[in-house]
Amino acid sequence: MVRWTRCARIAPGKEAQAIQWAKELTDWANKKYSGHLDVFMDCFGELGTLRWFADFENLGAVETRMQQVLADPEYLQRVSQVPALFQSGAFDTVMTTL
């Protein structure tokens, strides 16, 4: 199994809007791509950080999904709001089970 995660820090004063956007994006992605994407918010440590998680069978499945999403005009429209809601620099991590 491979786990993909994306982390983003909410911009100051944008907490409510960013959380709402994150929930809507997650719901949309789960419906459109028949997956199970989850979004969490840090309670300790990096406060104001949202983290998305999705599990895949292998690295090829991660690559396939990324290609689908990045070619999706609706996804690109939805993420066009990101600069106003988040501080610069979201980052992805891909992990594998041992």
What is this structure's pTM? 0.89
pLDDT of residue 75: 94
Q: Are the C-beta atoms of residues 62 and 70 closer than 8 Å to each other?
A: no
3-state secondary structure of 3: strand
pLDDT of residue 46: 82
Tokens matching residue 19: 């959380």
Residue 58 is which amino acid?
Answer: N
Q: What is the topology classification, in CATH, of domain 2-85?
A: Alpha-Beta Plaits (3.30.70)
Structural domain boundaries of the chain? 2-85
pLDDT by 10s per residue, the chain, length 98: 999 999 999 999 999 999 999 999 999 999 999 879 999 999 998 889 999 999 999 999 999 999 999 999 999 999 887 878 998 778 999 999 99
